[in-house]
Amino acid sequence: MNDFSEKDILKMISLIYRKMQIYLDRQTADLGISSGTLPFIMITCEHGGINQNRFCEILDISKGTVAKSLAKLEEQGFVSRSESSEDGRCIIVQPTEKAMEIYPKLLEADTAWIKQMTKDMTEIERMVFVQTLKKVSKNISDYF
């Protein structure tokens, strides 16, 4: 018998999200970034140069939100943006040296959080957890 009801699922998802934001904000406070801008820095560092519109696809967020977040990061010196030489309508986002310097710490924070979330899970449970999250994410994206 389950020791939770279906209505508890939303509470658990909310708790996980809020606690992750708090954790990442604490881990990155000394870097001058927040949990909201962290994914942008990580994606930029992982891709080198990336079309600004790709952030919309990867993070499933609006162009306006992407533009605001990247403008803030550019102002802080974490990314640079320039017109594409191939298509002037496209903006290419590059990580700066400042972003590349903090990237290892961001990876450590991510890894530590995932380990904390899954610490009492077996390898099989972790695999099922990831596959379930993928399905849930796809279902939600398909809905919108």
Residue 27 corresponds to which amino acid? Q
Predicted pLDDT at 3: 67
Which pLDDT band, with edges at 50, 70 and 90, does 2 fall under?
low
In whole angstroms, what is the distance from residue 37 CA to residue 143 CA?
A: 26
Q: Is residue 119 helix, strand or coil?
A: coil
**% of residues, the chain, pLDDT over 90:** 76
- Model pLDDT for residues 96-121, shown as the tens digit of each residue: 999 999 999 999 999 999 999 999 99
Nearest 5 degrees, angle CA 93-CA 31-CA 81?
15
Q: pTM for the whole thing?
A: 0.84
Q: Is residue 124 helix, strand or coil?
A: helix
Q: What is the rounded average pLDDT of the residues 49-71?
A: 93
In whole angstroms, what is the distance from residue 113 CA to residue 76 CA?
A: 25
94 within 8 A of 77, measured Cβ to Cβ: no
